[in-house]
Amino acid sequence: AADGEKPIEDIQVGDKVLSKDEKTGKREYKKVTRLFKREVDKIYTVHVGKEKIETTAEHPFWVKGKGWVPAKGLQEGDLLEDENGKALPVEKISIKNEKTTVYNFEVEDYHTYYVSDTGIWVHNMCDLTDQVTRKQMFNQAKNDAGIPTSSSPIKQGWINVYGGGERARVYQFEGTDRHIIEHRNDKFGRGLHFHVGVPKDPNVGLFTDGTRYYNLGKIEGSGIQGHYPENKRGFRE
């Protein structure tokens, strides 16, 4: 915090914490806008040098060359970033099955902050109890696309939609060229979410690695969202 280091449970709304804009690299103190507290049954401990960082499974860490990765997806050797921009390797990850009270907070604008004495860069991904469910968002995406919410996909599969990066699951429905795209490993830390899209090349479709699609939410006049959930906090399973 701007007034000195504090345990996360002592952070209050209005406190300022050091934050970083992942797009520009700019660092500055930003206000805490919301606080979260909940119970979890499993704690991940990330070992970095002499530091032991206790966190929840879904809390995102910035990994060099990968972007935002949840704690449960970290691997030994992954390079985390400290407040000076130095890359520090993950030496070990341990898991403890024990009911524990955990705390988190939301940071204005950049939505990132630094944890531990070493200052490891993490995302402020909001508390899961504040999230909508996958079923709710899948149905909303179908509804906006003009697909009956009772409809089941006639075809689905995993593809690489960006030609070398993030993989996504695509769902095709009968009687429409509108597909539902599900992102489960978003490199920008936006959590699990859906898009509605149509193939850029109707002759190829969306079931070939490297294919591209038009996100209907970004097309003027489409009248639908581009992101489900729209607040970009992701949905829960």
Residue 65 placed within a domain: yes
Look at residue 31 and tell me whether its pLDDT is greater than 90: yes
- How far, in Å, CA of 165 to CA of 185, rounded? 10
pLDDT, one tens digit per residue, over 168-215 is 899 999 999 999 999 877 666 667 889 998 888 878 778 877 777 888
Does residue 181 share a domain with residue 102?
A: no
Look at residue 126 and tell me whether its pLDDT is greater than 70: no
Residue 82 placed within a domain: yes
pLDDT given at position 206: 80
Does residue 105 share a domain with residue 29?
A: yes
Residue 234 placed within a domain: no
Does residue 118 share a domain with residue 138?
A: no
- Domain of 62? 8-128
Residue 225 placed within a domain: no
For 213, the token pair is: 């699609």
Residue 68 placed within a domain: yes
Better-scored residue on pLDDT, 52 or 231: 52
How deeply is 28 buried, as exposed, middle or buried, from its count of CB atoms within 10 A (0-12, 13-18, 19+)?
A: exposed
Does residue 157 share a domain with residue 117?
A: no
Does residue 54 share a domain with residue 101?
A: yes
Average pLDDT over residues 63-79: 89
pLDDT given at position 115: 94
Look at residue 135 and tell me whether its pLDDT is greater than 60: yes
Residue 81 placed within a domain: yes
| 3-class DSSP assignment, residue 40 | strand
- How far, in Å, CA of 61 to CA of 90, rounded? 11
Does residue 124 share a domain with residue 163?
A: no
DSSP conformation class of 231: T
Does residue 101 share a domain with residue 163?
A: no
Q: How many CB atoms lie within 10 A of CB 237?
A: 8
DSSP conformation class of 33: E
- How far, in Å, CA of 178 to CA of 217, rounded? 12
Question: How far from 65 is each of 72, 112, 123, 188, 201, CA to CA, in Å?
Answer: 17, 18, 16, 12, 30
Does residue 146 share a domain with residue 40?
A: no
Better-scored residue on pLDDT, 29 or 69: 29
The pLDDT confidence band at residue 57, using thresholds 50, 70 and 90, is confident
Does residue 209 share a domain with residue 193?
A: yes
Look at residue 83 and tell me whether its pLDDT is greater than 80: yes
pLDDT given at position 38: 80
In this structure, the strands spanning 120-123 and 155-160 are unpaired
Supply the CATH number for residue 69's domain: 2.170.16.10
Q: Total domain count for the chain?
A: 2
